[in-house]
A = this chain, B = another copy of it.
């Protein structure tokens, strides 16, 4: 921690330029300056231009605290994600911020590390900051949190899920249905011995839980319910994907298809399969979820589910902007996911092809 010579910060800022200063310079009242900024159309053009010149000359910017105090609106939205380390959340936040920025909103960001207590605290802090709207991730939030939101009377939307409890609107995909489809696809290919790797360790990760349920349901429906030992629970990391695959194949060496609830786990599993000398997909089919950038570049490219993160972010922004303005808003928006069949999945080596059905694509 190589520290260069320590200095004290130079003199504090000069007194801020106030609306009154501009008014005096321009020989008008503060009210007029305010009008020039907020309702330019009701000020005589020549006067407006004059005032504008002085505003620029003095590099005046209004004090948003004073503004917020008077108007009751902060023009600020907050988002709390579990973590930014996941590209899928980072992408959503980026899209959210871009859309908000276009509408003059600024975005507060916080992360919960999948911890509901932390999520609650961060939300509390954001609400104290007077945010006009809030974006959450997922459907599992404590009662406490919901009543805090209700009490504050702030519009909320929850993201990455198709529906949330407690009358909270949602925008996202139907995670369970997506894994159900991908599982059915593998069944159609002829697989009968499955394994699942799911990051369901964090209590608040309802997305992954829904994904796991989709797998289980599809297999139960097919008369091939998963035994507990066929499900390896993991945290979120590549390394865990590796060890999970190893464990799975130790317990069930004859597995032909492994369904992972995230691409990261799937990529870890593929790395481990390679190391173990198992050919993907001829010996082992592996699927992921999220369609991260790398998925398409793997060797073989990874079969996965593409999540429209940017659309989710934009949609959340639009929802809040409307809700804040008092416009009517949809209760929930279910976005289509996309099954991306690549070559990490194939029929098992020597399978008797079952009765075929057609299709499978967009949801």
Contact = CB atoms under 8 A, between A and B. Distances in A.
Given A9-B323, A94-B84, A271 B299 contact: yes
Interface string A324-337: 00101111111110
Nearest to A93: B84
B4 A332 contact: yes
A43 interface: no
Given A108-B107, A267-B294, A294-B267, A152 B13 contact: yes
Interface string A67-106: 0110000101000000111010011011001100100101
A125 interface: yes
A237 to B, nearest CB: 7
Contacts of A333: 1-4
A237 B9 contact: no
Looking at chain A's contact residues, the main secondary structure is: mixed
B128 A62 contact: yes
A61 to B, nearest CB: 5
Contacts of A8: 326, 328-329
Given A110-B101, A238-B293, A69 B65 contact: yes
Interface residues of A, number: 80
Contacts of A14: 153
A105 to B, nearest CB: 9
Contacts of A242: 297
Contacts of A125: 101, 104, 106
A23 interface: no
A126 B109 contact: no
A103 to B, nearest CB: 11
A195 interface: no
Given A107-B108, A271-B297, 7 more contacts: A6-B330, A9-B323, A64-B128, A65-B66, A76-B129, A106-B129, A271-B298
Interface of A: 1-9, 12-14, 59, 61-66, 68-69, 74, 76, 83-85, 87, 90-91, 93-94, 97-98, 101, 104, 106-111, 122, 124-130, 151-155, 237-239, 242, 264, 267-268, 271, 274-275, 293-294, 297-299, 323, 326, 328-336
